[in-house]
Each structure stands twice: as structure tokens, then as C-alpha cells.
Structure 1
Amino acid sequence: MTVQAAAATSPHDGSVSLGELLAEPTLHVDTLTSVDDLDRPIRYVYPTELADPSPYLSGEELILSVGVPVADQSAEEICRYVTTLTDRGVAALLIGLGDVFDEIPPALVRACHDRDLPLLIQRAAVPFRRIVDWAESRRATDREVDARERELGALLRWFVAGTLGVGPVESALARHGLSTAPVVVCAFAADVHVQVHELVDRHSGVVALLDDRIVALCPQTAEFTSALASSTLVCGVAIGADAQSMAYAIPEALEALHEAVRWRRTVHIDEIATLDGLLAAVPKVRLVPFVHRLLVPLVDHDKVSNSYLVASLEAFLAPDNDISTAANQLYVHVNTLRNRLAKIAELTGANPLVETDRINFRIALWAAHNMGMREGAAPQPQKVPPHNSFRSGRL
């Protein structure tokens, strides 16, 4: 008679751990064999006195028995019984004392020890029903948590999609105590659900399930920021100032998660909401043409004429530089730099003085510097810092 329903497929699957079972004082359960894995899951509670219950087992059961299958049996038969249980992936065997045994047969202890099957006992006069009810209560709680996380996830998904107003989101944040301060929005892969709760639950956060991703909302505090920074979880992070801002903070966190998975660390949206962040996510094959079309002609010309076109382009495109500032950095006259920029336009067909072309040149320079497409040092203008200069050679 199987007491538990089939295991759910959600992260909150209703299982309990062996350690939780042993730690619950009202159950009066003790262990007779060493338990190396207290996190071993128990998905079903199955009271049975069958000598071979294998047709009814699917794995991770806690078998409850008063000892009938091993009573008056030889050591060989007891070993066969224990092997039957371990072959079916049983989580543990619990013998209730007082009906058949006052003391557990040593052969059963040895067999369980040899086959790494935790052997538990429950003192006399404590009914098995207490374990069954405890496990079912935990399962029901898990189902409620799962339903809440899916409900919140659906609400956030509808809001982001524009099919739901901000009111329900404001109510949800208020219900979870997240309406009085900015919220850290963290996106995780679905397979770290337990670890996410271990992090988030300590900081008054809430978890939502969005399809195949987990989104956690936590108050923006120094304590949580520090805990997230020290965590080994791979996470995408964005900040939502209020309920309305969740419309963009959640997509930002999910986008940051893409890069976090690639970089195997926590990534904040601020890291990728830049040209560098965007280009880092672009396949290399899409960037190579920028280098070949916009930089290779300049490198080839510099090799022949020592014209410093690449270094001049870098100086002109440097942040906050205008043509006068760039000329001063290069120690050349403004007209000299203008002539070099005109030569760049002639060689490439792209004008550094035109905004769209400037963006393309910046992409080409980023690709050359960050994609291993350079070797050897190009001739340097006499006062230009080496770390600012494009390195030519094989592109």
C-alpha cells in the first residue's frame, strides 16, 4: 500500500531528506548503520511486509516494516531481502520495534551496512502513521510553494509581455515585503533551485518560476549584495527600482544570465549594456569582416608608408576625444590628423567623421584587440602610449 503519490516533476517534488527524517523529534527515529549521505531523498513512504516488494518499488522509498520479511530467516535470506531493496534504489529501511523484534537481528545490521542501505529503527508504541502524516504534510507544503512560485512567475511573465497591468505586480511585491526599496532581480538556470532558496530565503527574498528559468527578487541590501558576490551560483542580475521597472529589469536579468552561463559567474546587466558587452556576445565570424574591411587596408598602408593611420584612428575614436584633442595626443597638427582621416576614408570607403562609420570603426578596433587577431607591434607615433595603439601583423 503506497502512501505517497507519484513524485512530482517540479523542483518542489515533495521529497524529504534522510537527515530531515532523523532530525524530526516527534518521529523518534534512530539509525543503526552509519549514514554518509543525509541529503539522500525520500520520495515515497511505503509500509510493507512483503519479502519481495520490488514490483511495487520505483526508487527512493522509505520502507516501513515491523520485521516480518526477516523474522526467523537465515543470514542468506536476509541478505537477499536487503539486496532486493538496494537493487530497486530504496532510500532506507525502517523497522518498528515492539511487534516482531525488540532487538534488530545482527545479520540485518550487517547486510544493510555491507550494501550501504541506511537501517533505521522506531521505538515501540510509535505508529507508522506518524511518519506517513509527517511526510504527506511536507509534500503538501511543497506543492503549495511550487504553486505560489509558478503563480508569481506567470504574473511577472504576463506583465513583461504587456498583457497585465502593474497593479497585480505592486500587490505581489507588497505581499512579499518588497515594495519599499529597490529590488535585486536575479535570474538562474532551473537546475539550481535548491541552492537559490538557500541563498534567497536568508535575505527575505521570493522565488518565481518563469518557464525554464528561476527569477529571484530580493531587497537591495549590502548583506544580500555581499552574499551574492561570494556565492558560486551562475546568475544574471538587474535592479528594479519599483514594480513598474520590473517590465525591463526581468528581461535584463534573463539577458545577463545568457552571458553569466557563458562566463560561468554572476553577471550584472551593467556589464553587458555597453558596446563592449554587446560585442562580446556577438559570434566572432560576424566581426571578422569589420576588421578585414576597415583595418586591414590601414595596416597594409602603414607598413609601406609609416603613416600611422591606425594609431591616428584610435586616438580620434578614443572616448571624449575630438579632433584637436586627438591631434595633441599624437603630437601632430590638426590638419595632419585631418589628412590622415581623409586617407582612411579613401582606403576604406568609410569616413571616420561620419557617426555611423565611426561606430563601425570602433567595432573593428574592438574585434582586433579582443579576438586574438593581432601579433607583432605596429610602428608607434612617438608619444602615443603603447597600450592605446593597435597592434598590427597577421589579422
Structure 2
Amino acid sequence: MRLRSLLAMTDLGLELVTGEEELDRFVRWVVTQDLPDPSRYLSGGELVLTGMQWHSGPQDSETFVAALARSKAAALATGDARYGAPPEDVVRACRKYRIPLFRVDERVAFATVTERITRILSTGRAADLTAILDRHRQLVAGTGLGSVLELIERDLDMRCWVMTTTGRVVAGPDQPPPARTVTEFLSARRLPHVVRTEPRPYSLFAVDEFGTSRVTDWLLVFDSDCSDWPEQRRALAGELAAIVSLERVRGDDRQRAEGRLAEELVQLIVSDAKPAEIISRLELTGLGVTDSYVAVAAAAEDVLRPRELRALLREILYGRTPATGLVDGEAIALIPADDTAFAEIGSALGTLEPGLGEVRLSVGVSGIVDGEGLRGAVEEARYARRMAAGRDRASALVGHDELATHMMLLAGVPDEVRRMFRLRLLDPLTSYDQDNGADLAHTLRVFLQTNGSWTRSAELLHLHVNTLRYRIARIEELTGRDLSRLEDRVDFFLALALS
């Protein structure tokens, strides 16, 4: 419906304050907002009702109305309870950003406006959708997504689940849909997508298709073929996605305070803080100070945004109370230790892999430590993660048991020290290779892998032994090292392991 239709609803008594030239805009939904910046709860086309609780001066009007404009809201309607008529600075901001402004008489409740408009918007079976479209009271009352999905099933005879890309059911009926629904959601070329199964098909919709990477999104699963749906039912799927997105944001908000504490804890660990200081922070994150822990590191080669990577790792570790932070592009999590963590992480990665596409997700898991061993565990997990990144798979997982003993020792050495050690030994070789088209670094690696066997190394490199001797002599000349000495061989072996 268009904004000018609101003025014809005499029972609502809406008064247009400014924006007559914009009255041909369409209204897609009605929301009530009193946050200083409501943009994250808007997706475009909303009539925004506000009691003006965010307003304390002209600067607040600029922030609030600018956020509406960025979010492509249809219009703003202010209640009279606090100020009577809208303050002049609100009117000016609406004119500046071309946001139509209505005044809601204080005798008219916002719930009345919401119900009246949403009934008209649902042009099909309005009675079927009344309780769903009154979603604000449902969610604020704490009934959550479960009650909304129950209303859809009861009134429309259509079952729906909200799921994550690891296969976890966030809300919905007790019997979950087939596991392949998640796999097909992740690999579908376009959405919505219909999964053809017996005895019924399933339709898959993204919750936030354009706002987040698919691998970190949630999905809606309906137990019917959406290609047969009327337009009103398709619109319902879109509105339900908006409700789910709102509830997910609220859940993220609840995690925000504990997330900051977890971020501080991880930063303390990698900055080599004293164990006593680290342990004192453990209690604040919800992890017990006498427990045993496992560190998990994940990275996605800069394809996922940091918040998406952290959210994905939290989802992979769901149910384990992870304390998660970001360090140099890696998401680091600490979880209470148990014997099933590694296998469950591997299972989650197997579910995610079809939807990774260009995302190469690598994960490393440490051994079990106590509170005083957290720094070593984090370094161990990060090194295991780097090993996983070298594997030719969309997702790869490496545990501490795959790390050689010398690698476990190197995990405790600061990154800058490791980098300088590697450069000091290998940079002369890599520079020479680049300038001359040579292959000295690879020759050195093969020579060490064969324990210095001239014959075996020459065979593997397809070289004459004399050519190999020339290359080794050149390596020694460039680096000032002697490969007949055990100490120098060990140094080169460790430097190559770090590269």
C-alpha cells in the first residue's frame, strides 16, 4: 500500500507533518523503534513508529532520521505522548533526508496502528496472518521464534524450521527436516531453492541473503514447494526472514558484553600476560578457573569479514560456551576440554564444506591444558591452523596430535622471532631463486628430507650428483652455513618447517 492511503484511514487519525511529495512510496511493513540508531532492525519500506525516547536534542534527530534514510524506510510516525507535536528539529531532519513525517494522536495506540495497517498489507487470508504480523508484541513478550512458527503451522498448515548452516535447529517442530536440506542450501546456485524428497518437498530461503555470507547465514525450511505458492505466501516467507533476522540480532546483542570480555582474554593470552592475570579473567568469561581447556583457531583467507568468521567459529562450537576473540585475522576460541570436541568440529566442517565456495576455511585444535597453559595452547592451535591452511581442501582441520615435537616447541616462540629466524636463513635462497630462476630452496628441502643422501636426493631431483653438489655448495656460500654440520642442518630444517 502507498503512504497516501494512510491518510484515508480516518480511524487512525494520522496527520501528515511533512513529505507530501513522497506519498506515493510503498509501505512494506510497520515497526516500532526507540533506539538512537534503528538501522540494523530495518530492511527497507517500513513505516517506523516511535515514542521519541531517543530524542534529547537536535543532534539526536540528525542521527535517527539519517539512519532511516540509509535503511530506505518509507516514513516516520511520532507519538504525541512525550512532546505533543514533533519537535521542529525532527521536522527539519525529515525534510533534509526526504523522510515523510506523520503525527500519531496520543489517543491512538501504536498497536492499533500496527494491526490496522498489517491487516491491509496481508491481502490474502488476513485472518491467517494476524498473530504473525503482530510480531513485535510476540517477540518483546519473550515468546520468541517458536511461537511464531507454531502460529504458521496452526493457521496455514505449513511447517517451518529455522536452522544454521551446521545443521542446528534454532526453532521449529521436533522432527527436523532431512540433513540434505542444509547441504543443498549451501550449494544452491540461487535461492529460494526446492529440495525434492519423498514424501514431500522442502523450500529453502536465506534469512539475510544479501547482508551476510551464505555459509554464516541462517536458513528457513518450509515443508512444501514454494514454486506453487501464491504471492501472499511468498511475501510471508520474506517477512518471517525479517523476524528471524531481528531475533538473531537480539541474540548477538546479548552476547556482546561477554564477547568483549572474551576478546580481552584472548588478547591478554597472545600478548604474553602473566598467568595470574589471565586466570583472573577466566571467571568473567564464564570459563571455570580450575577446568581444563582446548584452544581452537580458525581463518578464512580474508574472504569472511571478521565478525562473520567469529560468528562461524561460535556456531561450530555451539553448546561449548566458547570464549572467542580475533587476532591478526584469526578467530581464537577457548572451550572446556572434552573427548568429543575434535570429532564434532570435524563433523561441522564436513556439513559446511559444500557451501564454502571460494572460502578456504582452516581450523587448528590444541591439546588439553590447564589455566596456566593457555598461551601455549593458543600458539599450538594457531600453528595447527597454519598446517591446515596448506592442505588442498575447502575446509581442513588439524589437531595437536599431528604436530611433530619440534613444532610443539616452536608454537611457544613469538611470531616475530619465528619470522626473523626463517628470513635470516632462507631469504638469501629465495631471493637467488627469484633472480636467477633457480631452485635452491627446494633442493635444500629434498636434501634434508633424505638425511643428506647425495644419491637419493639426486634421484628425487632428477639431477646428476655433481649438479647436486654444485647446488649445495652454492647454498652454503649464500647462507654462510655448512650442511655437513648437524647444527646447521637442524637450523635449516626448522626454518623450512616455518615457511
TM-score (normalised: structure 1): 0.45
Structure having the higher Rg = 1
Higher relative contact order at CA 8 Å, sep ≥6: structure 1 or structure 2?
1
